[in-house]
Amino acid sequence: MPWRVESVRWVFNFLCAFPYASTLGTYTQKLLMAVDLAQAISKQQLPEVPSRFVQPLHRREPCHGHSSIPVIDLHDLLHQGGHSAHIAAQAVTKACEEWGFFQVINHGISTSLMEDVRRVVKEFLNLPMEEKMKRPMKFEPYHPTGYGRTFDISEDTILDWVDALINYISPPALKDPEYWPDKPAAYRETIEAYGAEVIKLEKTMLGILSKSLGLDFSHLEEAFGGDEAQVVLRVNHYPRCQQPDLVMGLSPHSDGSAITVLLHDEVEGLQVKKDGLWWTVKPIPGALIVNMGDMMQLVSNGRFTSMEHRAVVRSDTERISIVVFYAPTVSAFLGPIAPKGTQQNTAIYKPIKYGDYLATYMNKELQGKDRINSLLI
């Protein structure tokens, strides 16, 4: 039976009793307006998509073709050192400045581990809905976790054609193991192993970008909270859609994280906005897609860009992306950072506590780059 509102009332009651429930605003009400998840609707094979998913014309901007976002080989950076590593680091910096999106190859994460991640995720998504909904999405302040839908703010919200599974990899206090699937049996072990490898890669990126900003290698990692930084895995499942041109897999947005790493299933669907036009990213087999989040744009004072992007869906096949967000701890107070030994006299962004930023991010519909732009001075 499709997942409906009756099954989430206990979650709503929990949220209402939570000491900080007031910080969620209308977010705590969203569960009472639940509609079937996208996968359940897809399986019903309705002649038309439900109206809650239909995007207005002005939000269905056309795509102008394929774009070659930068592709960076990290082998020398990770294994050689010296001049060749410096060249690779410069390529990363340039990609973050000009695009905010790039693909990395020879990134140090084994093909077998990536295949294992895809396999356990697919096995989970293929479970009966009743099994998946044993861990329905819950919304503690700042920390959604479990399986279901996000950004369903009110009954007027236009929904994206995507279901999500969210699990915290780090820090341990946020892991909430009760909301990790116990089926398939290898899910937890596989995701934790993959998460550890992605964290290494993300910290390498942070170090490169710290140095490019004239800071110590560890500066950004420490500014984002060190071991208390939030590392979150989100599985995006975009089922087949009978009218893909009417819906959006994920509405245009920039990530609220510092760095995002995406493992794809080689199905096209990710699109980026460059110079006012939308372009489809062609995923490279074996590559990971890396993009900058709003917090990197903030601390770099706009030097690194959190590019606007979206996801589209298809009628002939599903698409699955497995995303790991590296985000500051909620207590981090962030603003433009001046190079070591200098003062920041030309800041274009106001500083903000990350928890406040995240509360705003999670309580509003995805609307392009509105959130980071709201901090412009």
**Which segments of the chain are extended strands (E)?**
63-67, 71-73, 101-105, 138-140, 143-148, 163-170, 230-238, 250-253, 259-263, 270-274, 277-281, 288-292, 309-311, 319-327, 333-334, 352-353
Whether 351 shows a pLDDT value over 80: the answer reads yes
* Both structure tokens of 356: 């406040």
| 192 vs 58, higher pLDDT | 192
Range with the poorest average pLDDT among 141-145, 171-175, 267-271, 272-276? 141-145
How much is the pLDDT for 324? Answer: 98
How much is the pLDDT for 168? Answer: 96
How much is the pLDDT for 27? Answer: 41
62-98 confidence digits (pLDDT tens): 998 998 899 999 999 998 878 889 999 999 999 999 9
Whether 17 shows a pLDDT value over 50: the answer reads no
How much is the pLDDT for 141? Answer: 66
| Dihedral sign from CA coordinates of 247, 323, 356, 344 | negative
Q: Indicate the pairing of strand 143-148 with strand 163-170.
A: antiparallel
Whether 28 shows a pLDDT value over 70: the answer reads no
* Both structure tokens of 335: 């603003």
Q: Using the structure block, give the residue that is written with the tokens 């794809």.
A: 264
How far from each other are the two terminal CA atoms of the chain, in whole angstroms?
51
Whether 31 shows a pLDDT value over 90: the answer reads no
How much is the pLDDT for 258? Answer: 97
* For range 303-312, the mean pLDDT: 96
- If you count them, how many residues does the chain have? 377
Return mean pLDDT, the chain: 87
Whether 3 shows a pLDDT value over 90: the answer reads no
How much is the pLDDT for 68? Answer: 83
120-159 confidence digits (pLDDT tens): 999 999 999 999 999 898 877 668 899 998 766 567 788 9
Give the Cα separation of 177 and 170 in Å (integer): 11
Range with the poorest average pLDDT among 10-24, 251-265, 319-333? 10-24
- Stated pTM of the model: 0.88
- Structural domains present in the chain: 5-46+56-373 (2.60.120.330)
Range with the poorest average pLDDT among 64-73, 106-115, 220-229? 64-73
| Dihedral sign from CA coordinates of 323, 263, 333, 371 | negative
